[in-house]
Amino acid sequence: MDHLRRLGNSISIPIPPDENGFTGRECPNSDCEGYFKIEFGTGFKGKGLPCHCPYCGHTAGHDRFMTKAQVEYFKSVALRRVTDAFYEDLKKLEFDHRPSGGLGIGMSMKVKRDGPTPIHYYREKRLETEVVCSSCTLRYSVYGVFAFCPDCGQHNSLQILAKNLDMVEKMVDLAAGIERELRDKVTENALENCVSAFDGFGRELCRLYARKARSGTKPEEVSFQNLDVARTRLLALFGVDLSAKVSVDDWRGATKSFQKRHLVAHKLGVVDRSYLAKTGDSGAVLGRKILIGADEVKRLAKPIRTLASGMLANLQELGESE
């Protein structure tokens, strides 16, 4: 039984990464079982490091994060190696004694099998957002957009917001050289994207810190498309002042730009009384199209970054998210 003996007590089977270098992972938390992928070799270096589920934050060793398909693959590879070794060992015992002597009796033993044990191959799934963690450089990919880094556990909300704001800036720059009508449209879209990026960020933070919200409030229903409303809601929810970290001028400027987005989204960009009352914009004329400058949209990124990092810092002071 040489072949079997050589296998030893344990079989080591490497996990094959997909064509992009990613290895699938599955959260062992039965309420989650979320699927994601990471590129081993990026991020933290060292052995025995824990893995954080990007969706629910559950933390355990990497051996607990194997996908069901990987477990089936490992089982089948292990079984194949054992059955192959057993087969080879039995093969060595084959004999064939030809009939001889007066009685003419011969004996033989031939070992046959239908074929090797099949391997359960698998393909990793396609995911939606690829992230390189800004803190530990791990490359990972997830469904949706927001996630905890599987290596260092840092949430990517600020990183995703920054990426979206960079994209807005590129959009505005690209539009600089095109004809006016199209340029105005792209600038409007860029403003809408800016506001949507902050809205997505704010909503995600409200979801993450929902357990820190005061009772009777509804953190999942807060919209961040109107800064004054969001500020009032955040004060009621968490006692956190959204405007605390920005200058009065930046707050006013950002509030006005957000109101312009409202006109673009709901009034085809035509100035109404509500806009004039809320912003006191002396440059706007009732019934005329609102002016949105490329520079204005680019400038908006700065206060948005400050508002976002301030909001995150204030919520973190309330305690760990759950």
Q: Count other Cβ atoms within 10 Å, centred on residue 303.
A: 23
**Cβ closest to Zn ion, residue 140 vs residue 258:** 140
Q: Does 172 bind Zn ion (CB under 5 A)?
A: no
User: Minimal distance in Å, beta carbon 140 to Zn ion?
Assistant: 8
Show the 3-state SS of the chain.
Answer: CHHHHHHCCCCCCCCCCCCCCCEEEECCCCCCCCEEEECECECCCCCCCEEECCCCCCEEEHHHHCCHHHHHHHHHHHHHHHHHHHHHHHHCCCEEEEEECCCCEEEEECCCCCCCCCCCCCCCCCCCEEEECCCCCCEEEECCCCCECCCCCCECHHHHHHHHHHHHHHHHHHHCCCCHHHHHHHHHHHHHHHHHHHHHHHHHHHHHCHHHCCCCCCHHHCCCCCHHHHHHHHHHHHCCCCCCCCCHHHHHHHHHHHHHHHHHHHCCCECCHHHHHHHCCCCCCCCCECCCCHHHHHHHHHHHHHHHHHHHHHHHHCCCCC
Identified binder of Zn ion from the candidate list 7, 15, 79, 136, rule CB under 5 A: 136
Q: Which stretch binds Zn ion (CB under 5 A): 46-54, 94-102, 244-252, 263-271?
A: 46-54
Q: Which stretch binds Zn ion (CB under 5 A): 50-58, 95-103, 123-131, 280-288?
A: 50-58
**Cβ closest to Zn ion, residue 159 vs residue 279:** 159
Q: Does 230 bind Zn ion (CB under 5 A)?
A: no
User: Minimal distance in Å, beta carbon 316 to Zn ion?
Assistant: 16
Identified binder of Zn ion from the candidate list 149, 186, 271, 301, rule CB under 5 A: 149
Q: Does 151 bind Zn ion (CB under 5 A)?
A: yes
Give the C-alpha separation, 96 to 107, whole Å. Answer: 6
**Cβ closest to Zn ion, residue 58 vs residue 262:** 58
Q: Does 39 bind Zn ion (CB under 5 A)?
A: no
Q: Does 26 bind Zn ion (CB under 5 A)?
A: no
**Cβ closest to Zn ion, residue 32 vs residue 270:** 32
Q: Does 194 bind Zn ion (CB under 5 A)?
A: no
Identified binder of Zn ion from the candidate list 29, 196, 225, 309, rule CB under 5 A: 29
Identified binder of Zn ion from the candidate list 145, 152, 210, 291, rule CB under 5 A: 152
Q: Does 133 bind Zn ion (CB under 5 A)?
A: yes
User: Minimal distance in Å, beta carbon 68 to Zn ion?
Assistant: 15
Number of residues that bind Zn ion (CB under 5 A): 15
List contacts with Zn ion (CB under 5 A). Answer: 27, 29, 32, 34, 53, 55-56, 58, 133, 135-136, 138, 149, 151-152
